[in-house]
Copies of this chain bind each other. A is one copy, B any other.
């Protein structure tokens, strides 16, 4: 699978996910149009859909077609989007732009943004609790617990709290890694494990997919930091140089640009090595890992 084929894979899976976000989510079931509009503003804004695509690609690596797993894939995207909405709030990172558009609290107001995030988080669990043909309901319950652990106090929310607390001081590399492992790593890892579990992975395969997720999560975060330093704010849809301005610890600020790039490459190679026993059905995962190094946004 060449890069041009990866782009075709990503586009087709993104289209599947976006169609499912329209079709599977209970948009009619809210008493207020404003809440729905705010949720849709942030959820349907052309994100990369990395986490849901990872769910699908990991299940596909085990020989499954992706359709049955779309509710869980959508659950991942709901959790990711809620976290962006809340992280952008004035009391948190206070961002006005996200993917080139006004953030939720800018387009609506703070109360609406808080509630839209709450509603998306809640919706994620409604989606993850849908019965899936051929999947043991015990497995779905286990997946919900993993999802909650990756998203909650032990994972993403814990990481965002750490990040807020560390804003005013210079972190060591180990501390920075702890922040990222929780804030972004945990959910990316869970997306991979989810696809693996739903696809009936063996314990060894599960562990490999978890390690793959951990490695690409880290590579993704390092390239995010690099892009904030060197990227094109037009392509990124957000201001660049913000980390440097706020004296925030990043991989480039701690390691320098070159060593950061090398560390991202090391993680990508580690990710691909995890997939060694998998067939060519795991090629999208392999190419996705390589693709992270060539990101421009």
Contacts and interface: CB of A to CB of B under 8 A. Distances in A.
Contacts of A29: 149, 153-154
Nearest to A147: B125
Interface stretch (A136-144, A223-231, A280-288): A136-144
A153 B26 contact: yes
A74 to B, nearest CB: 13
For the complex formed by this chain, how many copies does it contain in all? 2
A91 interface: yes
A35 interface: yes
B122 A35 contact: no
A39 interface: yes
22 contacts: A26-B149, A29-B154, A30-B158, A31-B154, A31-B158, A31-B159, A32-B162, A34-B161, A91-B114, A111-B161, A112-B161, A112-B164, A114-B114, A118-B152, A119-B153, A122-B153, A125-B125, A126-B149, A126-B152, A129-B141, A136-B137, A140-B141
6 A-B pairs closest in CB distance: A122-B152, A91-B110, A126-B148, A137-B137, A129-B144, A29-B154
